[in-house]
Amino acid sequence: MCVCEMTGADRASLLAAIRRAWAADTSIDSEWSATCPARGQCAVTALVVQDYLGGQLVRAKVEGISHYWNWIRGGEVDLTRDQFTHFAPTAAGIRSRGYVLSVPDTVRRYETLKERVAMILGQE
């Protein structure tokens, strides 16, 4: 779906589909669990959000680890923020899509999440 065609309801459905699609195989964290499904999902989630909504990829350090989210038309979209007990990002900056996808494991996890979200949304 084109970003320009996405209504508020479509956006809510997208964000819900992403959350439903998270699993151990899309997380970078080997200790992922259903009790904290956002854990280790930030980079791949930010990429899928960008696929549908556009915008920029933001990266910062939070609690000593790398964290990604989206900046879209003057607002933030961060579906994985709740994995942190204290969200206080430092050294935030914009990262290119190519930079985020330069890690083969990220590519694999992103492709898995992207396909799962498309299936949930009925696009495949």
Q: What is the pLDDT of residue 4?
A: 44
Q: Which residue, 61, 63, 46, is CA-closest to 100?
A: 46
pTM: 0.92
CA 92 – CA 14 distance, rounded (Å) = 25
Q: Looking at residue 73, what is its pLDDT? A: 86
Instruction: Give per-residue pLDDT as tens, 80-123.
Output: 999 999 999 998 899 999 999 999 999 999 999 999 999 999 97
Q: What is the pLDDT of residues 1-60, one digit of tens each?
A: 344 456 677 889 999 999 999 999 999 999 999 999 999 999 999 999 999 999 999 999
